[in-house]
Structure 1
């Protein structure tokens, strides 16, 4: 009889291999080629960028896992639901309206934009979210997805308006947020702090998120304050997503890819899904950024392009799989 490792042990072994390997690849590769770099290049360029990539990936993956649990929708993701777009609008507006050089202007604007976008999505779809207990066939999940897509389109329109009225001096800096690029992301610690704080906010009540994932009525019968717990979880997700967008721009689909990789390892409870999603999301974006830096060297691709090349096919596959299961 063939014995397989328990899901937690298997996921832990994969994470223990993937995270250090991703960081090592990022530190030993660049536009100039492969190999261990000089000290200045390592500590001033590659190390901060790798840390920023890991923090952004972890924050987006954690936000995606929380959104999927709260919406009971396996397709839930910050980019698809318009949360990334809202954070981008907030960051761009803050950069345009606040005096140049204002500290943490983009970070504050991105967090407010993410929270406003998430509030709009769930305010417009709160009736649909209360119907049924099934995480797959429930009509509310489709409503949330459609409203999120419309909000994403509206955010794109607002971004276009901001770019149209921006001055030439502002335009160069504003375009950074649209590309999903980590080039120049040397300030890496705020997104790490945001991801850790967000995880600490949701982890103590992880079992209640599992109950929410089975439906509002189910959670309510078990004594969960549904509205309060949803607002608390979404506030944590908005904090993580907002700082991720402020650091790297509109990087999409990390929050979709990482939680599903964790589920494929056999981990489905929120207590394990959220931290392991953060680990795999961080490793995924570090590798994606390494590909973006090296595949067309000495030029560089936006990391959002690489993540979308993986995320879009996965999103289509999951959507077709969900429809065929009905």
Structure 2
């Protein structure tokens, strides 16, 4: 069975436009946004119109390229200043997803390399376009390879629980945590997937359930607080999640609620796998305490998905967008370079070596 692929991030270079699937209106509408300004691209990242660490990185790479392309600088120094201004601006859109900074830094490295080769401004613009395309193309291959590695840990007919959305619309293609599900579906593994709704923004309900259903995968939506009972009833044999950042000791930041799922999986002796491109592994980050957790507005909890407000007007709201899963709860971290097992301090470093 071939999977249904929707390209969530695309560059229309001849129109100077970044085209994004608006993930905030799914599943009711499939709507693409045509973004031409840095302000529009910044807002799309901040407002989760594009989301998923790899997709954010791709969008940022194309976004900073478009900013550089529009530069009227006549010399390399002025061009670099215009690029740096755009890069620094886009970097403020989301603090937790390391792919945002990874992609922007990679674009800057390419610019510096080409500058050292005495390239002119037009050649620098072409090099940035080439690099942005490479980031997108490499992500597709990375996701497929992660899926192949993860599939070696799974068996046909398994029940798999996933949290948030780490699928094809969060990446260039295939996804990270959903990649083995798609590859397994193509090979008739007949997985039964349980998708946490993932409060408060409902990425599991709106996005994961939607894209898996579109692809013909057997998916059942559950509320976040139902994860324990489906595990207890023996319906889940593995948990697969994506991530936004992995510290050098294996602590992993992912959508809020992931840590709770990991604790439950540990209790019920169910393997908990994190699917992580190398670009999300931050060896400069010692542990989870060093990961900045984004806090978002109260309305996402009190009002966003309701026709009428569902909480008292003056109630205090705490709305962290992510939590950190302790490395001790993670069975394995699956990357495009292979599978890392504890001790992560050593095994993650070896992946880069």
What is the TM-score when the length of structure 2 is the normalising length?
Answer: 0.28
More strand by share: 2
What is the TM-score when the length of structure 1 is the normalising length?
Answer: 0.30
More helix by share: 1
Higher relative contact order, chain-length normalized (CA < 8 Å, sep 6+): 1
